[in-house]
């Protein structure tokens, strides 16, 4: 279908405008969706606030969405038209150095052709053309009875899952998760599925309570304790500290705290993305003699995307636990402001 597409465009510095732009026909291998549900994400908020290294303003926003196929490009099955689908917002080339080593989240093809392999925006719109590599790897047909907004959570669930997989949890382990935003909450649920005891650390009372409802065993508000590291350690392994720590805030200070909290021989996953150019310092004695494992976590693999979709399709993770309000497309700015000001967890945009 050709025509006009109403979409949210970001001009940087909290400047978001709803504009009508021409809608292209889907190219070979692409599908065109009428967006039915899109969700706000911490990444959108970051982009909305301070831009994105690979994007020149104005650029479209919204990368968590699900919709109905209304047209398909050459080579695609026309039987998809009318079906509800969801995709992730990126895909690996499956051919490069890193993809060949089962690290498709680190695909070199993405660096070479970011715009083709990653769609960081375009979900806060009436329509979107999903690029061919993403369709090929990550297009999922939504089963009957699963709401669009539930399916739209595939990307955040897959990325949270990658972080939890990086932690290498064993049944009975105790994991501390710093931050109970959307990602920390998802990781709480996923770590419980993996058989862990979860310590949730969060300043917001509402978010901490939600972590408890989603299964966290120990709730710690840093404002209520003197020495946070000591307080966390005292609740795990007879005072030795948690087996794993995931940092899901994205601040250098909390990255360092995560390293301090882990027990000897423990694993730290630095999950939350910090502002570019920032650095942390690590006590070399602790890293060496305590044999810590410190890992990064970025994006998710195609396999993790599939697992995430299955968890959502089965209702193991429910969108209703994460969506704090609904806005029409015209009010995308208000939804992003509400997310930015932590007036809830995630917000649903219904075009
Ligand atoms: Zn996201
Ligand atoms: Zn690749």
3-class SS letters over 149-184: HHHCCHHHHHHHHHHHHHCCCCCCCEEEEECCCHHH
109: closest CA among 302, 307, 311?
Answer: 302
CA angle 130, 271, 309 (to 5 degrees): 40
**Residues of the chain falling short of pLDDT 50:** none
CA of 40 to the centre of ligand 1 (A): 7
CA of 63 to the centre of ligand 2 (A): 20
Angle at which helix 42-50 crosses helix 332-340, to 10 degrees, equals: 100
pTM of the model: 0.95
Ligand nearest to the CA of 61: 1
CA of 74 to the centre of ligand 2 (A): 24
Q: Determine whether 351 is exposed, middle or buried from the number of CB atoms within 10 Å of its CB (0-12, 13-18, 19+).
A: buried
CATH superfamily of 3-153+322-350: Medium-chain alcohol dehydrogenases, catalytic domain (3.90.180.10)
CA of 117 to the centre of ligand 2 (A): 10
What is the number of helices (H) and of strands (E) in the chain?
14, 16
CA of 227 to the centre of ligand 1 (A): 32
CA of 107 to the centre of ligand 2 (A): 4
CA of 257 to the centre of ligand 1 (A): 25
At 122, list the tokens.
């375009």
Kindly report, residue by residue over 291-307, the tens digit of the pLDDT. Answer: 999 999 999 999 999 99
Cis peptide before 108 (omega within 30 of 0): no
- Determine the pLDDT at residue 52: 78
- Non-local (6+) Cβ contacts of 232 within 8 A are 176, 199, 201, 220, 241, 242, 261
CA of 168 to the centre of ligand 1 (A): 23
CA of 114 to the centre of ligand 1 (A): 17
Report the alpha-carbon distance of residue 336 to residue 347 in Å, rounded: 8
Phi, psi of 116 (to 5 degrees): -85, -40
Ligand nearest to the CA of 137: 2
Query: Where do the structural domains in the chain lie, given as residue ranges?
Result: 3-153+322-350, 160-296
CATH number of the domain at 160-296, please? 3.40.50.720
- Non-local (6+) Cβ contacts of 318 within 8 A are 150
153 touches 322 (CB < 8 A): yes
Report the alpha-carbon distance of residue 22 to residue 345 in Å, rounded: 33
Ligand nearest to the CA of 45: 1
CA of 291 to the centre of ligand 1 (A): 33
CA of 100 to the centre of ligand 2 (A): 7
Ligand nearest to the CA of 64: 1
As a dihedral over the C-alpha atoms of residue 95, residue 187, residue 87, residue 141, rounded to 10 degrees, the angle is 110
Ligand 2 being an ion, which residues bring their Cβ within 5 A of it? Answer: 92-93, 96, 99, 107, 109
Ligand 1 being an ion, which residues bring their Cβ within 5 A of it? Answer: 41, 43, 64, 155-156
21: closest CA among 4, 2, 9?
Answer: 4
Report the alpha-carbon distance of residue 145 to residue 25 in Å, rounded: 30
Place of tokens 């497309």: 329
At 305, list the tokens.
């995307």
Phi, psi of 101 (to 5 degrees): -100, 25
- Determine the pLDDT at residue 1: 59
CA of 231 to the centre of ligand 1 (A): 31
CA of 273 to the centre of ligand 1 (A): 12
Report the alpha-carbon distance of residue 277 to residue 60 in Å, rounded: 25
249 C-beta neighbours (distance < 10 Å), count: 24
CA of 115 to the centre of ligand 2 (A): 14
Ligand nearest to the CA of 182: 1
Q: Determine whether 14 is exposed, middle or buried from the number of CB atoms within 10 Å of its CB (0-12, 13-18, 19+).
A: middle
Ligand nearest to the CA of 183: 1
Kindly report, residue by residue over 39-80, the tens digit of the pLDDT. Answer: 999 989 988 998 877 778 899 999 999 999 999 999 999 999
Report the alpha-carbon distance of residue 128 to residue 170 in Å, rounded: 41
Place of tokens 């968590």: 64
At 187, list the tokens.
């990781």
């Amino acid at each position: 279908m050709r025509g006009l597409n109403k979409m949210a465009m970001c001009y940087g510095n909290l400047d978001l405008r709803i504009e009508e732009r021409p809608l292209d026909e889907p190219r070979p291998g692409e599908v065109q969706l009428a967006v039915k549900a899109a969700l706000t994400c911490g990444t959108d908020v970051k982009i909305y606030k301070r831009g994105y290294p690979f994007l020149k303003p104005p650029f479209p926003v919204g990368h968590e969405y699900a919709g109905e196929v209304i047209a398909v490009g050459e080579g695609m099955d026309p039987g998809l038209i009318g079906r509800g689908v969801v995709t992730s917002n990126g895909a690996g080339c499956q051919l490069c150095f890193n993809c060949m080593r089962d690290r498709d989240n680190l695909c070199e093809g993405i660096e070479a052709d970011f715009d083709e392999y990653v769609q960081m925006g375009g979900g806060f719109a009436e329509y979107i053309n999903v690029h061919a590599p993403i369709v090929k790897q990550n297009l999922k047909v939504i089963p009957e009875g699963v709401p669009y907004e539930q399916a739209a959570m595939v990307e955040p669930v897959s990325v949270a899952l990658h972080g939890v997989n990086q932690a290498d949890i064993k049944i009975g382990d105790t994991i501390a998760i710093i931050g109970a935003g959307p990602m920390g909450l998802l990781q709480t649920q996923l770590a419980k599925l993996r058989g862990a005891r979860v310590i949730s650390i969060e300043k917001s009372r509402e978010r901490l309570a939600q972590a408890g409802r989603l299964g966290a065993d120990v709730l710690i508000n840093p404002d209520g304790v003197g020495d946070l590291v000591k307080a966390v350690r005292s609740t795990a392994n007879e005072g030795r500290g948690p087996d794993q720590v995931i940092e899901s805030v994205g601040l250098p200070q909390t990255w360092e705290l995560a390293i301090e909290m882990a027990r000897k021989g423990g694993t730290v996953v630095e999950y939350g993305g910090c502002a570019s150019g920032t650095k942390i310092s690590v006590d070399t004695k602790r890293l060496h003699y305590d044999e810590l494992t410190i890992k990064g976590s970025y994006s998710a693999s195609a396999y993790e995307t599939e697992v995430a979709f299955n968890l959502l399709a089965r209702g193991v993770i429910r969108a209703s636990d994460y969506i704090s309000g609904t806005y029409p497309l015209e009010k995308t700015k208000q939804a992003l402001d509400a997310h930015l000001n932590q007036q809830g967890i995630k917000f649903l945009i219904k075009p």
